[in-house]
Structure 1
Amino acid sequence: MVLQRITVLGAGSWGTAFAKVLADAGRDVTVWARRPEVAREIRDEHVNSGYLPGVRLPDRLTATADPAEALAGAEAVVLAVPSQSLRANLTGWRGLLPAGAILVSLAKGVELGTLKRMSEVIAEITERPEHEIVVVSGPNLAREIAQEQPAAAVLACTDHERAVAIQHASAGPYFRPYTNTDVIGCELGGACKNVIALSCGMAAGMGYGANTMATLITRGLAEMARLGVKLGADPLTFAGLAGVGDLVATCTSPLSRNRTFGERLGRGETLEQAQRATGGQVAEGVMSCSSIRELARANGVDMPLTDAMHRVCHEGADPAKVGAELLGRERKHEWS
């Protein structure tokens, strides 16, 4: 299955960076941008100054603000919009999707209300079987990839051949994609790591150091793996790129919106102040902590860090007090 014509729906940081990866791998790529001025800049000047300033985009990458034009003849469609707006956007695009095109999800989250993973939302809205949907996960900070710093990703699909097709379409000198059939584990890892990155940011904002970060990362990994295994994921997935790989990158890098957002909360800013400071954007983990918390509760899974982030972000809890409560929890065996 050889793919040449690929459409990326969404011109944010990660959508643009992944479009660059595909174009650098020799594909013909069209990006759909919501704002016409962004589409014009990408098409005519080969830059996206609002999201990836200073990055030159390949000449074979073009853009449009017309979704019908973007999708015409696409052999694969990459969905690069935030998780909580995926349903609304995809509903509008549903009738334009070319029959047989592989659908690729870049979104990392669990939908509020339905508690569905992104591939489940895509399957529901498009009425496509889940084996036609490929999920991209891993330590993929958009700016570093756009700067062609070496990185890897995991492409998960229950149909291995479709994952391989996207693998061939995206592999290049600085981007190494691996395949996996564990869609559940890869999606939950990608969603949960945003919440754990919030906690690491809060700890940094409160002045804590490496011991605290390592504790939060490893205990966060433990609770995301508990949820994943309960829902049918392969536990080995959480030791890979979609688990510990994505977790380390998102929890430690200043390029991570979730980490920097959490750091502001840890310094005492309110959710509204942190949002204003980040240009009006809310980190994915702020929304996902609530849906992941409900998903865990519905399945009888203990996720104390996720619960703590929900309380700080949505119930006004003090980060310092929540941290003390976490340390004072009942003592137990590490793997229980």
Structure 2
Amino acid sequence: MPQRSRSGFSRTAPRRAVVVGAGSFGTAVALLLVRAGIRTTLQARTAAQASDLQRDGENRAYLPGVPLAPELRIENTEGSLERADLVLLAVPSSAIAGVINSLQGRGLGDETPVVSLAKGLSAPSGAVTSALTSAVFGSERVAVIGGPAHADELVHDGGALVAASTDEELAAALAKLFTRGGVICEISNDPLGVEYAGAAKNAAALASGATEAQGLNAAGAAAGHIFQEIWRLAESQGARPESMIGLAGTGDLVATALAPGSRNRRAGELLGSG
């Protein structure tokens, strides 16, 4: 019999996965899962977007130039989750609460793990997505993915991710999937810390972009102060410091700061210019 973690996720049997959200990262993750031998469905936000993906054979809007695998199934987010053994949420943190609340009505299984790919806090509460998901499904079936993961590089050159869950067997199973898909994936039992690390990265990149016109020293100081503030918030909520200084925090921050196409840094630059 296949071994199963507390979440009910099988570590050895072939599985079906559904990635909800067809942005750049969701598309990249779906392709990695296909490479790992997982029967994967990518759910686009609208029927029109799903039709475009099927027609074009690539995600021209968010991940141009990357062919979609023939094995990848495309549908919109009205599709059922009933047969999914793993559901990954690749939607913005601003919209994730509504998506989480819709999953059971779409046939999500009683033991199916839910994995958040979002980086950021959910407005207006400021909660991390793992807290929202755990409140609905229980922490043992919830995981998050962090780390430096620019989508185009992830598909072409690999990357370094962190799979985090309070169920360490679930985290290990996810790490194995991503490793089979061609990327390095570390394991953590601190999903709270991994999520706050991603949020800190976003805020620090915005701050550095907003102050870069005043000099690199000012940009570095702004990023450092913001990162420290969120570090303190994370610790007050029970997150561990090592999650902030590992791949999910400083590793992701460096990748974002160096990336010429970083959306967070560019948003900061626009804020700084008024």
TM-score, L = length of structure 2? 0.88
Equivalent in the alignment of 1:122: 133
Equivalent in the alignment of 2:254: 248
The code of the aligned residue for 2:86 comes to A
Equivalent in the alignment of 1:34: 45
Equivalent in the alignment of 1:334: none
Q: Is the contact made by 1:217 and 1:251 (CA closer than 8 Å) also made in structure 2? A: no
Q: State how many pairs are aligned.
A: 262
Give yes or no for the alignment of 1:101 onto 2:112: yes
* Structure 1 residues 174 and 208: CA distance shift in structure 2, 3 A: farther
* Structure 1 residues 98 and 68: CA distance shift in structure 2, 3 A: farther
Equivalent in the alignment of 2:145: 136
Equivalent in the alignment of 2:215: 208
1:86 to 90, 96, 101: 96
Paired residues for 1:57-206 under 5 Å: 57-69=68-80, 71-95=81-105, 96-124=107-135, 127-146=136-155, 148-172=156-180, 174-204=182-212, 206=213
CA distance in 2, matches of 1:174, 1:255: 23
Report the 3-state secondary structure (helix = DSSP H, G, I; strand = E; otherwise coil) of the residue aligned with 2:163: strand
The code of the aligned residue for 1:184 comes to L
Q: Is the contact made by 1:109 and 1:117 (CA closer than 8 Å) also made in structure 2? A: yes
Q: How far off its partner does 1:222 sit?
A: 2.7
CA distance in 2, matches of 1:244, 1:66: 33
Q: Is the contact made by 1:198 and 1:251 (CA closer than 8 Å) also made in structure 2? A: no
CA distance in 2, matches of 1:94, 1:250: 35
Task: Report the structure, 1 or 2, having the larger helix content.
Answer: 1
Q: How far off its partner does 1:44 sit?
A: 4.6
Q: Is the contact made by 1:137 and 1:187 (CA closer than 8 Å) also made in structure 2? A: yes
CA distance in 1, matches of 2:153, 2:48: 25
The code of the aligned residue for 2:93 comes to S
- Percent sequence identity is 35
Q: How far off its partner does 1:141 sit?
A: 1.5
The structure that has the greater radius of gyration is 1
Q: Is the contact made by 1:8 and 1:19 (CA closer than 8 Å) also made in structure 2? A: yes
Report the 3-state secondary structure (helix = DSSP H, G, I; strand = E; otherwise coil) of the residue aligned with 1:68: coil
TM-score, L = length of structure 1? 0.73
Paired residues for 1:225-264 under 5 Å: 225-264=231-270
* Structure 1 residues 161 and 244: CA distance shift in structure 2, 3 A: same
Gaps spanning 5+ residues in structure 1: where? 269-336
Q: How far off its partner does 1:131 sit?
A: 1.7
Report the 3-state secondary structure (helix = DSSP H, G, I; strand = E; otherwise coil) of the residue aligned with 2:79: helix
Q: Is the contact made by 2:144 and 2:194 (CA closer than 8 Å) also made in structure 1? A: yes
CA distance in 1, matches of 2:22, 2:77: 13
CA distance in 1, matches of 2:86, 2:233: 31
Q: Is the contact made by 2:43 and 2:79 (CA closer than 8 Å) also made in structure 1? A: no
Q: Is the contact made by 2:20 and 2:87 (CA closer than 8 Å) also made in structure 1? A: yes
CA distance in 1, matches of 2:227, 2:97: 28
Q: How far off its partner does 1:145 sit?
A: 1.4
* Structure 1 residues 91 and 158: CA distance shift in structure 2, 3 A: same
The code of the aligned residue for 1:145 comes to L
The code of the aligned residue for 1:67 comes to E
Paired residues for 1:259-278 under 5 Å: 259-268=265-274
CA distance in 2, matches of 1:260, 1:237: 26
Q: Is the contact made by 1:221 and 1:244 (CA closer than 8 Å) also made in structure 2? A: no
Structure 1 vs Structure 2 CA RMSD: 1.9
Q: How far off its partner does 1:160 sit?
A: 0.4
Q: How far off its partner does 1:150 sit?
A: 2.9
Q: How far off its partner does 1:66 sit?
A: 4.9
The code of the aligned residue for 1:135 comes to V
Report the 3-state secondary structure (helix = DSSP H, G, I; strand = E; otherwise coil) of the residue aligned with 2:229: helix
The code of the aligned residue for 2:92 comes to P
1:221 to 211, 227, 230: 227
CA distance in 1, matches of 2:249, 2:134: 23
Q: Is the contact made by 1:4 and 1:169 (CA closer than 8 Å) also made in structure 2? A: no
CA distance in 1, matches of 2:133, 2:273: 38
Task: Report the structure, 1 or 2, having the larger strand content.
Answer: 2
